[in-house]
Structure 1
Amino acid sequence: MSLTRRSLTLALAAAPFATAAVAQSAGLSAADQALVQRATAYLQGLTEARGRFTQTDARGLTTEGEVYLQRPGKARFAYAPPSGLLVVSDGAAVSVQDTRLKTFDKYPLFATPLSLFLAKNIRFDRGVQVTAVSRLADGFTITARDGKKQTAGQIALTFTDDPLGLAGWTVTDAQGRATRVRLLGLERASGLDPSLFVLKDPRPKNVGRGKV
């Protein structure tokens, strides 16, 4: 997998990892835990949404595109040309298509951190630990990592405060490389086209289906 596609998978598939992190928040103050609960309640109520995003990887390369969410189970991250990348969760699987490299990879939704955010009911017992809650001038950031320490790195999820909203996230890997996703104009939606969350493998059937 190329660095760009690895950054994509890290930044998008891992982003919701922090959203369900409440149960293992030892060491946080009552005020910090209240912010985590507030953010989680907001995400739980975000059943349909749409907006734009920009992603900046560790090399400083910036890409952009459109994002659509429909809980439970569905999401679409459509990168603008010339990227050629498209990520779709159809409720059962997460598919990653790269039209430039002519590749198509598929993962079970339950095996990705996306399942934490796209679940019908966001769970708080999935081994995620909130390590810090930081106040910003216009919001706050929740930082989390794998509570079982099976996955290195951390995720910082940023929210605006007034009104409360998801502003983006930064994923930092074990080598300290950070990939930042910034959401632009994310807003609640209704009646999203079901076809947004369908992505079929365009390759001939005799081409091997690889998993990254």
Structure 2
Amino acid sequence: MPISNPDLSRRAFALGSAAITAFAALPAAAQNALSVDDRRAVTQAQAYLQGLSAGQGNFVETSGAQRREGRFWLQRPGRMRFEYTIPAGLLVVADGSNVKRFDPRLNVFRQVPLSATPLSTFLARDIRLDRGVTITRVTRMASGAFAITARDQSRPGDGMVILSFAGTPLRLQEWTITDAQGARTRTQLTSLERTSGLAASLFQLRDPTQRPRRN
């Protein structure tokens, strides 16, 4: 069933898409408000994300008392898969054109155009951190780790996301989303590795609720 409500496109695909809002970009005016070291950290983040053309790993998502976990795959441009083990069977798949979500517990299938979600920016062929998002803070640690706090420039009231990077070489470790109502969702990437040769079938999801038509 297609999603017509724009709010659903953000809530229903929260794990894979609302988190990626911050990857969209940093407008020039906001860049000028950052220190030289802050801008260097943003440049590091952009270079890392641009270099991540294909990857896979595991995640843990917590929101209030809820805990979810699973595995993910990505292949730019346009493709990503979040496969939950807790709750078992829940899927979120970007196939290059649409983002699809299937919840087997409710037997509900939804989809929205990829271009209507923040995933489209993260999964673009070229990732830019110089337009579309206002970065309000860069928090740097002595260890070299840093976190970028951002809001969607066109929807500043929708909430914010914090992306955390650390390690040598640099790696995206987690993100935390705070929505317009103040609810927080934290997604930790417990593993993330670059890969290649991912099967095309990973990024395909047909509507399981549709029964084949009889002739």
2:14 partner SS: helix
Tell me the TM-score normalised to structure 2 length.
Answer: 0.87
The residue aligned with 2:107 is 102
Q: What is the deviation of 1:150?
A: 5.0
Q: Measured at CA, do residues 66 and 8 of structure 1 come closer, stay the same or move farther in structure 2, by a change above 3 Å?
A: farther
Q: Which runs of 5+ in 1 are unaligned?
A: 207-212
Tell me the TM-score normalised to structure 1 length.
Answer: 0.88
Output the aligned Cα RMSD.
2.1
The residue aligned with 1:27 is 33
Q: What is the deviation of 1:15?
A: 1.3
Equivalent residues of 2:46, 2:129 under 8 A apart: no
Identity of aligned residues (%): 48
Q: Measured at CA, do residues 7 and 84 of structure 1 come closer, stay the same or move farther in structure 2, by a change above 3 Å?
A: farther
The residue aligned with 1:87 is 92
The residue aligned with 2:132 is 127
The residue aligned with 1:210 is none
After TM superposition, the structure 1 stretch with the greater mean CA deviation from structure 2, 77-86 or 103-112, is 77-86
Q: Which runs of 5+ in 2 are unaligned?
A: 4-8
The residue aligned with 1:45 is 51
The residue aligned with 2:81 is 76
Counterparts of 1:89-168 in structure 2, within 5 Å, are 89-124=94-129, 126-136=131-141, 138=143, 139-149=145-155, 151-168=157-174
Letter in 1 for 2:46: T
Q: Measured at CA, do residues 84 and 16 of structure 1 come closer, stay the same or move farther in structure 2, by a change above 3 Å?
A: same
Give, in whole Å, the separation in 1 of the partners of 2:133 and 2:192. Answer: 25
**Match status 1:171 vs 2:177:** yes
Give, in whole Å, the separation in 1 of the partners of 2:211 and 2:32. Answer: 50
Q: Measured at CA, do residues 27 and 62 of structure 1 come closer, stay the same or move farther in structure 2, by a change above 3 Å?
A: same
Equivalent residues of 2:42, 2:129 under 8 A apart: no
- 1:13-69 alpha-carbon deviations (Å, 9 max, x no partner): 111111232334341111101100110111001001000000001x22111000101
The residue aligned with 1:192 is 198
The residue aligned with 2:13 is 9
Q: What is the deviation of 1:199?
A: 0.5
Give, in whole Å, the separation in 2 of the partners of 1:125 and 1:201. Answer: 37
